[in-house]
Structure 1
């Protein structure tokens, strides 16, 4: 099985349920998951534009809609709240899902709102999406601004509660501020190598090594604009190059998948950060194609035990360590 450390599923669930659809995962995602042998992942609440103007109320809407989706589809979903739930999900043949938050703009300065979110079932969060907020600075914010005192407090509370801290989307100043504060492993759920594709969302060698030093994992991102700057090289082979590079720089125990497929999201939201359509690299357009990357790893000489680490074991280790 594959564990995908980043998917915007709850955003899609919310948008479709508000239009009157039901059983969104079962009717709109499960077939692709099954074809790609994706057995779970971190499904995030992402405050999609234009709803980011009121992140608190949008988060409440998404918590409501995802709650209904979860409770009405317990036959296929197992929410991972503690480490033993992983084995339960596998034995029950259900999707092993971590509820995550892609950005904490909704809580403002009120870091204690992490407690009700934890009670709801949230076990993962990044401090920002691309924006500046009361906690930290994303890649589209000022390069001189990092974590605030509230952001540092949030990291400490997340670690105390047993929530996975995610550095994807942070600018470099915020990344290194978080590195200085963190005492437990942290992850970059969906980021690639800046050395191979020099865009703000990708990570420098130093950042990759810092994540590995913490004991964390980097999830390789399938968004084509993070694979290569040249259009004719935005394909699955160049995506696999990012895996090779990470393994060489930080070792096999610190690399996983965070595909970030989003072809199902609404155009109004997607157009704020991507354009041109066909957002996955050639040969790896959506979750149903996930086995294609596994075949490439096999062809490049990866051992089966190492492929298993990348597929799910490395992220499962983090889940067991943190939850």
Structure 2
């Protein structure tokens, strides 16, 4: 089974718990994930909202050191990819392809030069905010949330110049439409579900999903219980409901996976990455193999092939 996932917090958990990437008790381990081939994973460096300014920059740098250490230690099995050619090469060698993202633009500490620095360190995707307010703009959980700041607009435009992918998961709705206004390239929601199916404000409205589709972007389905079903009593069948709705909006070339492993509470009938295949099998009961494979791998691979 092919598997390409747009968002996990595993490397941050490795940093916090001093765990090994290859074999651990987290949601995602390289050992268990290697059951899928080809395999590609975007690893996020998460910046919690209590970090701002220089403390946020240091947090990013500390987790980055863990990421590089684990990439080096497991270099026979996983390859840190910076562009489409490296992504293709890693998969052709039967290695896991690793991409690096930032979850929370507070990592820049409010300085545009830190964006260039992050790009040079290999970051290719950035979620502009986490839930709260940072120098770039407001997250979706901010009361009376506003959109992007002037600095945020500068960051988004510089990301496009660099070739870094803008990620609108966690961003306020006003911020989302600001991104749509000031960008010309496709952007993504790496781990966001449908607000029509689950009313949590972290999920996307139909209008937002259609805008991402129109722009040639992708949306990663999040496995967090609280984003799958109102009340949070979610199972794999609830994942299917979000996919079905997005497909009804013409999302067959838009949908991907952004499981949020190690950053969320998974559906009650899942323990970790080893159970991703259960979603695949469940979807095959209702959708064609072509659509399921597109969701699990092909759409994400094509997007990065064209935009990385």
TM-score past 0.5 threshold: yes
CA distance in 1, matches of 2:90, 2:198: 36
Q: Counterpart of 2:41?
A: 41
Contact 2:168/2:188, CA 8 A, preserved across alignment: yes
Aligned to 1:244: 244
Match of residue 280 from structure 1: 266
Question: 1:241, 1:32 → 2: CA distance?
Answer: 27
Aligned with residue 293 of structure 1, among 279, 288, 300:
279
Aligned to 1:25: 21
CA displacement at 1:317 relative to structure 2: 1.7
Give the 4+ runs in structure 1 shifted more than 6 A. Answer: none
Contact kept, 8 Å, 1:11 with 1:48, in 2: the verdict is no
Tell me how far apart the structure 2 counterparts of residues 161 and 320 of structure 1 sit (CA, whole Å): 16
Deviation (angstroms), 1:38: 7.3
In 2, Cα distance between the equivalents of 1:10 and 1:38? 20
Deviations along 1:91-137, whole A, 9 cap, x unmatched? 22111111000011021321121111111111110111111011111
Q: 1:36–1:290: 8 Å Cα contact kept in structure 2? A: no
C-alpha distance in 2, partners of 1:8/1:231?
20
Structure 1 unaligned runs (5+)?
A: 266-273
**How far apart in 1 are the matches of 2:285 and 2:164?**
36
Partners of 1:34 and 1:288 within 8 A in 2: no
Specify the SS of the correspondent of 1:81: coil
Number of the residue aligned with 2:139: 138
Partners of 2:292 and 2:149 in 1: CA distance: 38
Alpha-carbon RMSD across the aligned residues, in angstroms, is 1.8
In structure 2, the partner of 1:226 is 227
> Contact between 1:37 and 1:291, CA under 8 Å: does it hold in 2?
no
C-alpha change, 1:123 and 1:55, in structure 2 (3 Å) is: same
The answer to whether the 8 A contact 1:41-1:98 is kept is yes
1:59 aligns with 60
Matched residue of 1:186: which SS? coil
Alpha-carbon distance in 1 for matches of 2:182, 2:149: 11
**For the Cα contact (< 8 Å) 1:11–1:62, is it kept in 2?**
yes
Residues 30-76 of structure 1: CA deviation (Å, up to 9, x unaligned)? 23313466712110000247656821111111122222222222111
- 1:107 matched residue in structure 2: 108
TM-score by length of 1: 0.88
Question: How many matched pairs?
Answer: 302
Counterpart of 1:27 in 2: which secondary structure? Answer: coil
TM-score normalised by structure 2 residue count: 0.93
Contact kept? 1:37, 1:290, Cα under 8 Å: no
**Runs of 5+ in structure 2 lacking a partner?**
none
1:260-296 CA deviation, whole Å, 9 max, x = no partner?
122xx6xxxxxxxx7xxxx111323321100111111
Contact 1:130 1:141 (8 Å CA) reproduced: yes
Which deviations, in whole Å up to 9, do the C-alpha atoms of 1:211-262 show, x marking residues without a partner? 1011001101100111111455x11111111011111113200001000122
> SS in structure 2 opposite 1:6?
strand
